[in-house]
Amino acid sequence: MKITAAKVIVTCPGRNFVTLKIETDQGVYGIGDGTLNGRELSVVAYLQEHVVPCLIGMDPRRIEDIWQYLYRGAYWRRGPVTMRAIAAVDVALWDIKAKMANMPLYDLLGGKSREGVMVYGHANGTDIAETVDAVGHYIDMGYKAIRAQTGIPGVEGVYGVGRGKLYYEPADAALPSLMGWDTRKALNYIPKLFEKIRDTYGFDRHLLHDGHHRYTPLEAANLGRLLEPYQLFWLEDCTPAENQEAFKLVRQHTTTPLAVGEIFNTIWDVKDLIQNQLIDYIRMTIVGSGGVTHLRRVADLASLYQVRTGCHGATDLSPVTMGTALHFDTWVPNFGIQEYMRHTPETDAVFPHTYFFEDGLLYPGDSVGHGVDIDEAEAAKYPYKPAYLPVARLEDGTMWNW
């Protein structure tokens, strides 16, 4: 069996997605996602110029060998661009293998470990009242887990708060838009949000919060303690994790569960956090972390330490990643939760898929492969549009972490 063609498709049905379609001499094809939000064309060039020429003629059944070829063969290891390009190939190859085996991908991975995948949605508001209201909407939709983010009085454009209460779009400007940050005000305001949510809706549902790398380790420890009475499912990205040891200090001071990893690319970025039992959930997902082949390795390491998965699932990951992640989530023994932001109807039309939401859970569907395709005619209607993630500055102008 041979790979005969591989093409990169860029489309912008509301936001940019980079998709790889691998074709074979058996007529079976596979689809992979290589989207890197705000830096999309770097992966396009990496794939088109440097990966596709190597793939032609290779045996698509040799997923592991091709993974090692691309990883070791690049010589320059790791990083978001390389690992997304590898992920795009890897996912397309798993799609092909599952189609050849006439199985849904979760069956090929080892079969179902659960019936459905618990997801969390994003409730946002410009202040506490609006966010509490948005949480109510998610409860009405049947969600069992909800992430709550609020604007902070006196701070311009806080992370996670966008247009409308149910939806925020993390990249939409030709140049990066500017947001503000003030840790003192946040530490004063955010615990009040969770107090109000618990007072209003009780303790039966899971609540999550994303710190988006804003706090120092000591401030993060403080936030974790302040949130303890509200029994969060997790506090995400409470402090930057380039220095994995930073989490020791947070961990020693709070029992609020910790999640990290949406910006990690390899097992090396997370191994100290896992082995030292400094986190509870690992946020890496298919597209960011070298595909199914590598994420499976991360999940296995995590399982030794009772760390569970919590795959990233913002709208900047294409439906191809969402579908593949749902197969992974359905199989992985140490599953925790899956993030789920809904795509636009235009995006859903470009990427026909079998996954569906019901009663707070997502299901991957039972068709063969990962269940997500690309409608190329539909995709061609939406040409690439430059878009950036926002940037953040403190009140005095100092650059901060968005």
In the complex, which residues of this chain contact ligand D8T (CB under 6 A)? 37, 170, 210, 212, 262, 312, 314, 316, 339
In the complex, least distance from residue 160 CB atom to ligand D8T, rounded to whole angstroms: 7
Q: CB-wise, 37 or 124, nearer to ligand D8T? A: 37
In the complex, least distance from residue 233 CB atom to Mg ion, rounded to whole angstroms: 14
Is residue 280 near Mg ion by the rule CB under 5 A? no
Q: CB-wise, 28 or 241, nearer to ligand D8T? A: 241
Under rule CB under 5 A, which residues in 239-278 are in contact with Mg ion?
A: 262
Q: Which does 339 bind (CB under 5 to 8 A by kind): ligand D8T, Mg ion, none?
A: ligand D8T
Residue nearest to Mg ion (CB): 210
- CA-based radius of gyration for the chain: 20
Q: Which does 24 bind (CB under 5 to 8 A by kind): ligand D8T, Mg ion, none?
A: none
Q: Which does 373 bind (CB under 5 to 8 A by kind): Mg ion, ligand D8T, none?
A: none
**Residue 177 in tokens:** 């838009």
Q: CB-wise, 71 or 159, nearer to ligand D8T? A: 159
Is residue 210 near Mg ion by the rule CB under 5 A? yes
In the complex, least distance from residue 178 CB atom to ligand D8T, rounded to whole angstroms: 15
Please list, residue by residue across 203-222, b when 16 or more beta carbons sit within 10 angstroms of its beta carbon and e when fewer do: eebbbbbbbbbbbebebbbb
Q: CB-wise, 193 or 368, nearer to Mg ion? A: 193
Are 254 and 225 spatial neighbours (Cβ–Cβ below 8 Å)?
yes
Query: Which residues contact Mg ion (rule: CB under 5 A)?
Result: 210, 262
